Structures are given as structure tokens and as C-alpha cells.
Amino acid sequence: MWENFSEAIYLNFIKDDRWKYYTDGLKVTLTITLFAVLLGVAIGLVVGIIRATHERTHKLKIMNFLCGIYLTVIRGTPVVVQLMIIYYIILASARNKIPVAILAFGINSGAYVAEIFRSGIMSIDNGQMEAGRSLGFNYIQTMWYVVLPQAFKNVLPALCNEFIALLKETSVSGYIALQDLTKAGDIVRSRTFNPFFPLFTVAAIYLICVIVLTQCIKLLERRLRQSEH
Amino acid sequence: MEETVIRFEHVWKSYGEQPVLKDFSLEIGKGEFLAVIGRSGCGKTTALKLVNGLIVPDTGRVEVKGQDISCADPVMLRRQIGYAIQNVGLFPHMTVEKNIAYVPSVSRMDGWKGEDRRKKTEELLRQVGLSPALAGRFPRELSGGQRQRVGIARALAASPDILLMDEPFGAVDAITREQLQDEILKIHRERGLTVLFVTHDIEEALKLGTRVLVMEEGTVQQCDIPSRLLSAPATDFVEKLVCRRREPEVRM
């Protein structure tokens, strides 16, 4: 029993430095997730503000229409398909796959983040906007200094869910032959011909990442709440 | 009347099919305290928001200090006009000091830098009858009356000469309301402000207003000094509004 186990450890992690597949894969997964989150928040912020502004003031008709198309298309098609379309068609000449994946996952995440921000902005009483503007802020200043800080706090749990979902969604990066964490497990499995250890190792690493991320966001939430008291 | 500060000229405004203001014309002189009274939906809040351009008229024009506000820079316009609203409006994520000083200091207005900022905030807090020790508190740590006072202090921060108030004392108890009314009368006197004060309480309107504007369904019913409102109501609506108030006076 013990001998089997230690042999499995040797085969799965130590022989030919196979543990490096996991660490390298994790690095790729985290890199893609981090930058895709940043891109997604940037896109989501702009799109969310445009949508909320349209809802409140009925202005920005054309921009709102374009944002609507973006949301419908992105949320209506699988992220794997979007990833492959970007890699094989739109950026077919790209050499480095990581930026391609960041772009694909960022654009995808942006659509979901936009709806989160939109609902967050709409949850803030219109009196705040009126107060800010009547004091002499313009629309964008009021949005940035008054409405968004409050909206952000309200949507933080929803954003956290989105980031966790994104981290796990990057596991389809193997479709464009990117060696992320999932793909790393795959490679080891093809060497050892035993799926048990590679798959559970990969699952455990994802789980740890998600737990750490959840804790970080809990801390942030607590600090934001403190600033009110 | 002294020089006109705010002028409405044949203003029409509707939300969808529903007309809110019908051919609304009015002149407000410098230093006046105009109390605007009417039922919910009579257009009094709309009239108020037309003055600082939060609402734009369908037709007609609004002038502030002789300038058509549709041609004015809204940011510059609003800095001359303080605005205090019922209940909401304080920024919940900022301290009292920040609520008062934030917009002037972010906008880099004169006299709001560094140490000046604290001094000015303290001065404003004292003026509205609050202890400067409250500067570090958050709005939710204040009572309703204190919050209203901070709202007024904030509205006065940019040293406006016009003050718009939309049912500012609607959500506080009767005793606090009376104190706040006296406070605002004092501020009006000391600063020589022109005040537009929306209320649905006829007692309040008669107590505060140098003139009282009675509105109903988007039209002016009567606009006159309080005593004339009582002695010579122009329409049935005004009559009904003031009759309850008049009886004790007759007995006197």
C-alpha cells in the first residue's frame, strides 16, 4: 500500500521534475486570470456606466445599443468558442498565446462585470447624483467620486463570484494548446497513464486558489465596511 | 421689489404625457425668502430643480441673475446655488468634514486647501448650530436633525447667494424642526441669501416666507406676502389651504 503510494508520488511529481508542469501551469493560469480580471473590470466599468446612464437619463442611445449587442453576443456564446475564434481567426498570426487568452477571457468577463456594475449603480439613490451635481460636480465627477465608491461596495460579493468563476473558466485554455494548470495535469496523465493523481492535484490547487481569493475579498469587504463606522 | 435674481418666463414642462408646469412665470427678488407650497406632484420640486438646471424646461426660459441658464456653464451656475434636499443627499461613505469640503476642495476652489479646509468646515458647522467635534463622524452616526444641519452647511460651503431647499425639514420631529426653521431664518438674514424653500406644511410656509407661492397642478394660484394670503386668498384652493390656519388668528 505505502509502496504503491510512494511510487505514485515519485511518478507523478518527482520523476523528470514533473512537479514543474503544475507550478508552470499554475503561473500561466494565475497570469491569465489576473490580467483578464483587470481587463474585464475596465470594460465592465465603461459598459456598466454607459448602460446605467442610459437607463437614468435616456441619453447615449447609440453607445447603449452597441453595448447591448456586446452583452448579447458575449453572454450568448460559450467562452471556449470565443477563445478559439479569437485565437484561430481574429488573431491567427499571434505567436504568444497568453495575451490572446487574456484578451478572450477579459472580453468575456467584461460582459458579466458590466451587468454587475450597472445594477450596482442603479442601486444608489438618484439623490446622490443630484446632490453631487448640484454642489458643482459634473456628471462624470459625481459618478466617479460619489456614486461608484458606494456602488462598488454593494457589488463586491457579486464581483468576487465573477472572479472565482473566471479563474476556473481559464481551465479551457488547453483548447488553444496553452499549458495552463488543467493542461499540466493532462500532460502528466499522458505520461503516467493514471488519471487519479494528476486530476486530484489539479482540483486541489484550484480549490486552494479559490479559498485564498475568497478570504482576500472578505478582508477587503470588512475594511470597506469599517470606513462607514 | 429689489433686483430680480431668479426669473421664470412662460415655462412648460411635462414628464411624458403628464404636464407638470403650465405656463409658469415668476420673479424672485434679491434677499427674498420664497416659500413654495402645494400638494405632491403640483410641480414645486420641478420648479426648484429648474433653477439649478437639474431639469431643463420644454419651452420657456429660466434666468438666474439676468442670464438664461440654458446658455450658462452648469457647473459654474450650480456653485452659486446651494441645494439642500430632504433626508438623502449626504454622502454616506464620507465623514461630515468630507461631505462639506469634498466638492470645493476636489474642484480646487479658493480657500479650501489644507488648514483652511478644516477652519472653513468648523466655521460652517458652528453657523448651522453644530459642534465642530462632529466633523469626523459619518452621516449614519448623526441624528436626523444633525444630518439636516450638515446638509445645509454643505449647501452653504461654496458661499452661494441663492439657496434651494426641497422639504429639508420633512423628516425630523416637531421640536427639531422649529429649531431648524429659526436657524435657517437666521442664516437667511445674516448672509442676505435668496432662498427658495419647498414645503407641504402651510404653517412652515407662513412662518418662514417673506412671500409664499401656492401652486396647484402646475400653475401659480397665488404669490404674495403671508398676511395677504390669509386676508385675501385668490382662489378656492388657497382659501382651503389657509382656512384652518386663519381661525385661531381671528380668535386672537
Given the candidates 3.40.1350.10, 3.90.1150.10, 3.40.50.300, 3.20.20.100, the CATH classification of the domain at B1-80+162-220 is 3.40.50.300
Angle, alpha carbons A168-A173-A177 (nearest 5°): 155
Contact residues on chain A for B141, CB-CB shorter than 8 A: 229
Contact residues on chain B for A227, CB-CB shorter than 8 A: 93
Note whether A150 contacts B: Cβ–Cβ < 8 A: yes
Strand partners of residue B164: B83, B196
Distances (CA, A) of A73 to A67, A185, B21: 10, 32, 44
Note whether A149 contacts B: Cβ–Cβ < 8 A: yes
Contact residues on chain A for B78, CB-CB shorter than 8 A: 133-136
Summarize pLDDT for B153-209 with one digit per residue, the tens. 999 998 899 999 998 888 788 888 899 999 999 999 999 999 999 998 899 999 999
The residue in chain B having the minimum alpha-carbon distance to the alpha carbon of residue A148 is B93
Give the pLDDT band (50/70/90) at residue A66.
Answer: very high
Note whether A134 contacts B: Cβ–Cβ < 8 A: yes
Q: What is the pLDDT of residue A40?
A: 97
- Mean predicted confidence (pLDDT) in A123-143: 91
Residues 6+ apart with CB under 8 A from A169: A79, A105, A108
Q: What is the pLDDT of residue A182?
A: 95
Dihedral angle sign, alpha carbons of residues A53, A107, A209, A169: positive
Summarize pLDDT for A159-199 with one digit per residue, the tens. 988 999 999 999 999 999 999 999 999 999 998 888 988 99
A2-226, CATH topology level: MetI-like fold (1.10.3720)
CA–centroid distance for A62 within its chain? 27
Distance from CA of A18 to the nearest CA of B (A): 51
Q: What is the pLDDT of residue B252?
A: 45
Summarize pLDDT for A148-158 with one digit per residue, the tens. 999 998 999 89
Q: What is the pLDDT of residue B246?
A: 62
Contact residues on chain A for B87, CB-CB shorter than 8 A: 127
- Mean predicted confidence (pLDDT) in A83-90: 95
Closest residue by Cα to residue A124 from A102, A101, A144, A100: A144
- The C-alpha atoms of residue A216 and residue B7 are separated, in whole angstroms, by 56
Tell me the count of A-B CB pairs closer than 8 A. 67
Characterize B57-89 residue by residue with b for buried, 16 or more Cβ atoms within 10 angstroms of its Cβ, and e for exposed.
Answer: beebebbbbeeebeebebeebbbbbbbbbbbbb
Note whether B89 contacts A: Cβ–Cβ < 8 A: yes
Q: What is the pLDDT of residue B102?
A: 87
Mutation choice for B interface testing from A56, A130, A133, A135 by most B CBs within 10 A: A135
Q: What is the pLDDT of residue B247?
A: 59
Contact residues on chain A for B156, CB-CB shorter than 8 A: none
Dihedral angle sign, alpha carbons of residues B198, B200, B204, B207: positive
- The C-alpha atoms of residue A13 and residue A201 are separated, in whole angstroms, by 10
- The C-alpha atoms of residue A122 and residue A154 are separated, in whole angstroms, by 11
CATH 3.40.50.300 in chain B, residue ranges: 1-80+162-220
Contact residues on chain B for A149, CB-CB shorter than 8 A: 93
Could you give the count of Cα atoms lying within 13 Å of B224 in the half-sphere of its Cβ? 14
- The C-alpha atoms of residue B76 and residue B57 are separated, in whole angstroms, by 19
Note whether A228 contacts B: Cβ–Cβ < 8 A: yes
The 3-class secondary structure across chain B, one letter per residue, is: CCCEEEEEEEEEEEECCEEEEEEEEEEEECCCEEEEECCCCCCHHHHHHHHCCCCCCCEEEEEECCEEHHHCCHHHHHHCEEEEECCCCCCCCCCHHHHHHHHHHHCCCCCCCHHHHHHHHHHHHHHCCCCHHHHHCCHHHCCHHHHHHHHHHHHHCCCCCEEEEECCCCCCCHHHHHHHHHHHHHHHHHHCCEEEEEECCHHHHHHHCCEEEEEECCEEEEEECHHHHHHCCCCHHHHHHHHHHHHHHHHC
CB B90 within 8 A of CB B151: yes
Helix (H, G, I), strand (E, B) or coil at A59: coil
**Candidates B92, B102, B155; nearest CB to A150:** B92
Distance from CA of B79 to the nearest CA of A (A): 5
| C-beta atoms of B54 and A153 within 8 A | no
Distances (CA, A) of B69 to A23, B63, B66: 64, 6, 9
Angle, alpha carbons A138-B59-A130 (nearest 5°): 25
* Amino acid residing at B175: I
The complex's ipTM works out to 0.82
Closest residue by Cα to residue B36 from B221, B235, B192, B248: B221
Residues of chain B with pLDDT under 70: 1-2, 87-88, 244-252
Mutation choice for B interface testing from A58, A59, A134, A225 by most B CBs within 10 A: A134
**What is the average pLDDT score of chain A?**
92
| C-beta atoms of B85 and A131 within 8 A | yes
Domain parsing of chain A, residue ranges: 2-226
CB B36 within 8 A of CB B75: no
Distance from CA of A150 to the nearest CA of B (A): 7
**Candidates A130, A141, A153; nearest CB to B85:** A130
Q: What is the pLDDT of residue B87?
A: 67
Contact residues on chain B for A133, CB-CB shorter than 8 A: 54, 74, 78
Contact residues on chain B for A131, CB-CB shorter than 8 A: 83, 85, 88-91
- Mean predicted confidence (pLDDT) in A104-112: 97
Note whether B93 contacts A: Cβ–Cβ < 8 A: yes
- The C-alpha atoms of residue B182 and residue B109 are separated, in whole angstroms, by 30
Q: What is the pLDDT of residue A16?
A: 83
- The C-alpha atoms of residue A120 and residue B103 are separated, in whole angstroms, by 23
